[in-house]
Amino acid sequence: MKRILCALLFVVMSASAAMAQDVIGKWKLEDGSAIVEVYQDGDVFNGRIVWLEKPTEADGSPAVDNNNPDKALRSRQLIGLNMLHGLKAADGEYSGGKIYDPGNGKTYNCSMKVEGNTLKVRGSLDKKGLLGRTMDWFRVE
């Protein structure tokens, strides 16, 4: 009985680790404007911008968070900016987190699900995800 429990525990732990590995990596937004690296920090998953199609402002300086509602944060660079925060893995999905859109300066509730080489990212106004939209992000090799 003890062996069966140990084997079952190993399988569950391996499946959880495999699921986490599915989401970890670099993902290109569907419009091609950025690449976001999803990484694990403890039991949560976050994501930071690692590449931008337009990495500079008109004057040649690094692109910054111009649309942030907090004026003190408008000078922070977009490359390296954490835009996904606090997603937790459960039942093959990642939920309970937030996603920040530097394009409009708004933060939304967020959930994600990996489908092959596509990451389905849902940003919504409500926690259940009813009032929002889903974006496809594509794995970068």
List, for residues 96-127, the tens digit of each pLDDT value: 999 999 999 999 999 999 999 999 999 999 88
Token reading at 78: 């977009």
Count of structural domains within the chain: 1
Rounded to the nearest integer, the mean pLDDT of the chain is 87
What is the greatest pairwise CA distance in the chain? 69
What is the per-residue pLDDT across 33-53, written as a single tens digit (0 to 9) for each?
Answer: 999 999 999 999 999 999 999
Domain span holding position 99: 2-139
- pLDDT category of residue 8 using cuts at 50, 70 and 90: very low
Check if the beta carbon of residue 48 is closer than 8 Å to that of residue 69: no
Residue 19 and residue 131 in contact, taking contact as beta carbons nearer than 8 Å: no
Q: What share of the chain is helix, strand, coil (3-state, %, to 5)?
A: 20, 50, 35
Q: Can you point out the beta strands (E) in the chain? A: 25-29, 34-41, 44-52, 82-90, 93-101, 106-115, 118-124, 132-139
- Mean pLDDT check: name the lowest of 20-29, 45-54, 59-68: 20-29
| Residue 82's CATH number | 2.40.128.520
Its pTM stands at 0.83
